Amino acid sequence: MDEAAAMFSFLASSGALPKTHVFYEQVHSFCSRALGLVDDPLLPTLYFALTRFQSAIQFNSKPVASYLLTGRGKHGIGRHTQQTMHEFVETHNLSFLSPRTVVRNAPPGHFSSGVIKEDVELCIKMCIEKECLSIKNLLVQGYLCCVSTDEMAIKPALEYSAMHRSIVGLVDPEHISYEDVETLAAASNEEVVKYLVEHEFVTQAREVRVASLDDKVDFPIGVFYGGNKGGEVHIQSLFDKIINVTERCLNCLKEDTNCVFYCENCFANKEVDEKCSEAGYVNWHPLLRPCEACLRDGQVCTRLIPIAWSTDCDPKQKSFMNTMLNSRDKYPYHVPIPDCPHNIKSVRSSEFWHWIDINGFLINVRLLLLLRRESDEMKKSVTLKALRNKDRMDVETAVEIHRQKVQDNITENLLATTLIPELEFKNWKRNGSGTLEYPVGIAFLPKYSKLFVTDRLRHAVLMADVHCPVNVSLIAGGVEPGYSNGHGRKAKFRNPAGIVATDDLLYICDQGNSKIRVVNIRSLFCHASQIPSDEDHSDNNDDDCATRRVRQVRIEDLVLTSENDVPGLQSPFALCASKTPELSLFVSDVNLHKVFRISDIQRIEEDMHGLIKELATFGRSSVLLSLSITNDNRRLLIGDSGEILSGIHICDVGDGHLIRTVSGISGPTGIAVTDAGNVFVSSGREHSIYYFRETEFVEGDNRPLKIYGGDRPGHCDGT
């Protein structure tokens, strides 16, 4: 008789362990149910103490205890299903002692970076036990799996590890020994601070997991500790270390040797070469080839086949994904994919941040939020949480805004909403109430979905992304009024006004300095490796081309020359550009009451040059505050806010001949012509926006239509 059974028999027969004791009832219940002698409905009657005990801990115990008392079900079928004796014993145990759980199989935690080969070996054995999806022939048993890596932020700190009896928390060295601590303890405070500054702290833990493609096995096999630094080369190094261990077979893992089964020559030629044929290989594809050791010993090569690598979507991972896809000789069957959460986040972010087209309507979450306030049907169709989500991580928004009811309730009426400052998300730091003080000029760059705004009182140029909420960045000036060229905030403006945006350059009327300034914005959008390194750069100690540098715009003057005796600019205000491949600028001067044309804009040596020509002259009472050009580049629209003759002058682009003046708009301060031929004019005196078709306005005699605003100033979003 087993020793435990004999002792239990003695305690029970002697009366020391009464039959009403909860332990006796638990043993009796367990054995009788395992042998199928008692039906479940009779348990409360037969085992009174055990039933009371189970009721007492029912809502206080975790599955750790409940699995022991009530079972965990037969592989999802249910715990009341008829089970054999062996199945009952297996399913009634503490949860962490189940042979299929990660808790039982997982080794103790460790503070050393790398993949643990014992865990890979255990993972292979679990795949064998569960008969996971595999590729097999007479020589190879390969279990198809996906290797996934994910980063988790760690608060940088030095801590004592009782397991290793050392201080951990640095990237290198990973462990500070007792002798090193004694040396630091004897050093001065300055030396200790210098040591900590020179050694990078661990701020991230990159977990490595292996999951079989049929999802029967999902197991952690390693972790890599590191800091925030590192680019594509660093990620490639980590991936190579992971693959070096996960692709080893069971025999090579036990012997701790390299597992060689890939032949570059065979893979390139798609046939077994002479050397491999002599060694005994019959397949050229690496998935079907045993390793050299197993082939030599005549054993089946049992290993994992990580055909997919799932990872998050940081720029360094994306760069290495492209490298992997373009290096099939080195990574013949590995396919990189963004993991599911980041795929969902990408969809979520794109729907939330960018403007999208739904049934011909340009829609943004902000506009849907505005519609929800004014439409009861929209309130029923989409939740407020989905539209006001601040952290942009709720995937419900991407689903809700594409519902048919939401699309059906999108109104055809025009909508007005405020982008700057942010009114919905009160704590949005990059778009607060004081972001703009006196915006004058605005230009939109569709290529990058960016708005550029000049602020007259801040003497600055700002950039805003057309997102929700909008992020606003100061890119030039903004410190104090003055005049100086340079980079970013080191440059100075005085009352900047009109602005024009091209792919790489901004042209700005610097009214207070009587100049046209040029802002090079290429560094804001190009790859970091293309930014020249100078004294204003900040490396992140990368070895690859993804070295981060300070992205500052460069500001310079547009040097103007003339063939005739053209007066110099005194107070340039409005600015627009032609819509032809050869760029021409049109600028108004409020002091000279003239409009000038600037052509032949090009860089000569170190400076930007342009040829200026007087195009049109107006009366001394005119105040030329806005300019725009028609789509056919034949007509120039000039907004005149003068007291005597206020309206829109239509002039010929070639010779400046005045075709006609359209009245009916008092104090036009801004004109915009869309590619579809729609013209919008803002009126500073009437606090309104007017609309008309380009052909009707230029060629006909129709009056513009007021679409926004009223006679009184105010601020209110709506339809």
Asked if residue 630 and residue 500 are part of one domain, the reply reads no
The pLDDT, as a whole number, for residue 150 is 86
* Residue 640 to residue 593: CA distance in whole angstroms: 10
- 677: Cβ contacts below 8 Å, ≥ 6 apart: 631, 693, 694, 695
Asked if residue 458 and residue 584 are part of one domain, the reply reads yes
CATH number for the domain including 656?
2.120.10.30
Residue 334 in contact with residue 309, Cβ under 8 Å?
yes
The pLDDT, as a whole number, for residue 360 is 56
* Residue 473 to residue 461: CA distance in whole angstroms: 9
Asked if residue 490 and residue 543 are part of one domain, the reply reads yes
CATH number for the domain including 251?
3.30.420
* Residue 290 placed within a domain: no
Domain stops at, among 564, 599, 617 = 617
The pLDDT, as a whole number, for residue 540 is 36
Asked if residue 591 and residue 696 are part of one domain, the reply reads no
In which residue ranges of the chain is pLDDT below 50?
Answer: 100, 102-103, 391, 533-550
Residue 499 in contact with residue 509, Cβ under 8 Å?
yes
Asked if residue 128 and residue 11 are part of one domain, the reply reads no
Six-digit token string for 513 = 């300095």
* Residue 287 placed within a domain: no
Amino acid identity of 481? Answer: P
Six-digit token string for 680 = 């919008």
* Residue 383 to residue 551: CA distance in whole angstroms: 39
The pLDDT, as a whole number, for residue 78 is 55
Number of domains in the chain: 4
Residue 243 in contact with residue 334, Cβ under 8 Å?
yes
* Residue 422 placed within a domain: no
Asked if residue 335 and residue 246 are part of one domain, the reply reads yes
* Residue 251 to residue 256: CA distance in whole angstroms: 8
- 145: Cβ contacts below 8 Å, ≥ 6 apart: 127, 132, 210, 211, 212, 213, 217, 304, 305, 306, 307, 308
What is residue 461's DSSP assignment?
E
Asked if residue 609 and residue 676 are part of one domain, the reply reads no
Strands of 658-662's sheet, edge to edge?
A: 624-629, 635-640, 647-652, 658-662
The pLDDT, as a whole number, for residue 390 is 52
- Give me the residues paired with residue 473 across strands: 463
The pLDDT, as a whole number, for residue 535 is 41
* Residue 588 to residue 597: CA distance in whole angstroms: 9
* Residue 667 placed within a domain: yes
Six-digit token string for 362 = 């340009």
Amino acid identity of 220? Answer: P
* Residue 657 placed within a domain: yes
* Residue 580 placed within a domain: yes
Asked if residue 11 and residue 121 are part of one domain, the reply reads no
* Residue 175 placed within a domain: no
Domain stops at, among 565, 583, 617 = 617
Asked if residue 671 and residue 603 are part of one domain, the reply reads no
Asked if residue 626 and residue 676 are part of one domain, the reply reads yes
* Residue 386 placed within a domain: no
**How long is the chain?**
719
Asked if residue 573 and residue 665 are part of one domain, the reply reads no
Structural domain span for residue 448? 434-617
Asked if residue 606 and residue 631 are part of one domain, the reply reads no
From residue 72, alpha-carbon distances to 34, 90, 189, 606 in Å are: 14, 9, 58, 77
Residue 240 in contact with residue 231, Cβ under 8 Å?
no
* Residue 653 to residue 615: CA distance in whole angstroms: 8
Write out the H or E segment, with its range, that includes residue 319. helix 315-325
Domain stops at, among 592, 617, 642 = 617
